[in-house]
C-alpha cells in the first residue's frame, strides 16, 4: 500500500497492488500504460522480540538501545536481538542513562503484603550488576514512586517526577529536593518529562486529581511554573511532551485524547490530532529532516485483549493524517513508547507495545 513517499509491507514480504482496467469501444484497443514505479523502496514493519512484555519506555545512549519493561531491563545486541540486562521481576517505570555504563532505574514490585514497593536501583557497568540506592524521594521516612527521570548533563543534575512533584538530585539520585509541587501530593502519576535544549525550561505532566490532563511549564531560573490544563477532553492524561527539532518555540503534547501543539512556547495551543474517542497517544516522533512529518501510534485502554497496531502519520504538521494497520490478527499492538534512532546512516522508529514486545520500522 502506498502512502505518501512510503510503501508499507508486513514481515519480509512487500505488498504489491496490481491495477487493471477494462472497457470497450469502437476504437482500436489501446494497451494500458504500465503502473508507475515508486522510487522509494518498501518500508517494512518487523517484529523485534520480547513478545508478552510491556515496554514502558525506550532509551538510547552512545548507540546503546534499552527497553524498560514490566519485567526488567533489556538491551539490544549487535545482531538486533534483545537480551536481559537485569532487574528481572521488577516493573521498570523509568530510567536515566547518566553515562554509557552508569544507569538509574525506578521500579515497583508488589511486596508480600500486596502493597507496591518503590525502589531505585543503580548500575555502574551497563546493567551487568545492579544495587539498590538508599535514597529519599518523598516525605520524611517514605518513598513515593518516581515515574519519569531525565539527566541534565550540563548541570550534572537528575530531574524526576512523582504524583505532584518535580524534584532534582545533584548526587545522582541519593537525595532529592522538590523544585515544584510537593511530595505526598494528590492526583495521578506525572509520567511526561522533557527539558528544552537550552536547559531553561522543564515540562512535566500527567493526570490531575479529577482525571483531568495537566502539565506544567517550569522555568529553571525563576522556579516559577505555568499550569496548562483542560486542553484535551476529560478524562485525559498527558503522556509525552516533545520539542520540534527546528523551532525552540514549537512544542507538541500527546495525551489520552490526541495531540496538541504550541508555536509560541505555551502562549496558545492548537489541535493537531483530535476526535480520537479518548484513544491514548503515549508518544510521537518528529522527523528531524522534515519537521512537518510526524508519526504516532495509539493504545486503546484494554489490559487483557489483543488490539491492532495502527501507525498514524502526517506530512503537513497535522492538517491531514494517514493510517496503516498491521495485518497480523490476535496481536497486542497497543503502542506505549516510541523512539527514533540512527542505525548505519539510516533512521528507524522502534515501537514498544503493551504485552506485544518491540516492532521496528526503518525510514528510507
User: DSSP characters for 276-327?
Assistant: -TT-B---EEE-TTSTT-EEEE-B-S-SSS-B--EEEEESSTTSS-EEEE--
Low-confidence ranges of the chain (pLDDT < 50): 1-29, 35-42
Q: What is the pLDDT of residue 227?
A: 98
The DSSP bridge partners found for residue 65 are 60
pLDDT given for residue 21 in this prediction: 39
Specify the CATH superfamily of domain 187-328.
TolB, C-terminal domain (2.120.10.30)
Cα–Cα distance between 118 and 74 in angstroms, integer? 20
Residue 268 exposed, middle or buried by CB count within 10 Å (0-12, 13-18, 19+): exposed
Please tell me whether the peptide bond between 235 and the residue prior to it is cis, using omega within 30 degrees of 0: yes
| pLDDT of 23 | 42
174-231 pLDDT, tens per residue?
999 999 999 988 889 999 999 999 999 999 999 999 999 999 999 999 999 999 999 9
Per-residue pLDDT at 187: 87
Domain boundaries, the chain: 187-328
φ/ψ of residue 117, rounded to 5: -110, 120
What is the CA 204 to chain-centroid distance, rounded? 14
Burial letters for 300-317: b for 16+ Cβ neighbours within 10 Å, e otherwise? Answer: eeeeeebbebbbbbbbeb
pTM, rounded to two decimals: 0.86
pLDDT at res. 364: 66
Amino acid at each position: 500500500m502506498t502512502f505518501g513517499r512510503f510503501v508499507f509491507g508486513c514481515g519480509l514480504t512487500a505488498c504489491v497492488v496490481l491495477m487493471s482496467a477494462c472497457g470497450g469501444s469502437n476504437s482500436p484497443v489501446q494497451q494500458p500504460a504500465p503502473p508507475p514505479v515508486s522510487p522509494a523502496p518498501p518500508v517494512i514493519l518487523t517484529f523485534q522480540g520480547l513478545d508478552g512484555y510491556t515496554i514502558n519506555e525506550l532509551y538510547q545512549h552512545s548507540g546503546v538501545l534499552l527497553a524498560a519493561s514490566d519485567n526488567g531491563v533489556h538491551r539490544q545486541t549487535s545482531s538486533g536481538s534483545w537480551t536481559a540486562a537485569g532487574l528481572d521481576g521488577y516493573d521498570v517505570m523509568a530510567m536515566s542513562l547518566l553515562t554509557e555504563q552508569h544507569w538509574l532505574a525506578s521500579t515497583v514490585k508488589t511486596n508480600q503484603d500486596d502493597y507496591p514497593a518503590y525502589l531505585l536501583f543503580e548500575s555502574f557497568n551497563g546493567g551487568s550488576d545492579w544495587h539498590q540506592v538508599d535514597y529519599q524521594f518523598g516525605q520524611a521516612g517514605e518513598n513515593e514512586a518516581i515515574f519519569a527521570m531525565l539527566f541534565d548533563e550540563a548541570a550534572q543534575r537528575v530531574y524526576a517526577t512523582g504524583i505532584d512533584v518535580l524534584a532534582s538530585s545533584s548526587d545522582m539520585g541519593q537525595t532529592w529536593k522538590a523544585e515544584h509541587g510537593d511530595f505526598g501530593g494528590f492526583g495521578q502519576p506525572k509520567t511526561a518529562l522533557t527539558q528544552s535544549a537550552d536547559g531553561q525550561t522543564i515540562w512535566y505532566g500527567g493526570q490531575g486529581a479529577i482525571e483531568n490532563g495537566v502539565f506544567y511549564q517550569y522555568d529553571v531560573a525563576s522556579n516559577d511554573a505555568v499550569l496548562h490544563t483542560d486542553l484535551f477532553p476529560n478524562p485525559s492524561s498527558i503522556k509525552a511532551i516533545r520539542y520540534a527539532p527546528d523551532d525552540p518555540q514549537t512544542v507538541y503534547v500527546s495525551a489520552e485524547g490526541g495531540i496538541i501543539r504550541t508555536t509560541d512556547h505555551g502562549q496558545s495551543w492548537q489541535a493537531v490530532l483530535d476526535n480520537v474517542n479518548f484513544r491514548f497517544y503515549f508518544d510521537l516522533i518528529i522527523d528531524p529532516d522534515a519537521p512537518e512529518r510526524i508519526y504516532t501510534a495509539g493504545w486503546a485502554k484494554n489490559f487483557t485483549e489483543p488490539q491492532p497496531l495502527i501507525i498514524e502519520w502526517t506530512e503537513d504538521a497535522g492538517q491531514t493524517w494517514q493510517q496503516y494497520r498491521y495485518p497480523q490478527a490476535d496481536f497486542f499492538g497497543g503502542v506505549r513508547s516510541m523512539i527514533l534512532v540512527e542505525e548505519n546512516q539510516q533512521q528507524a522508529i522502534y515501537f514498544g507495545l503493551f504485552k506485544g514486545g518491540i516492532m521496528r520500522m526503518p525510514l528510507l
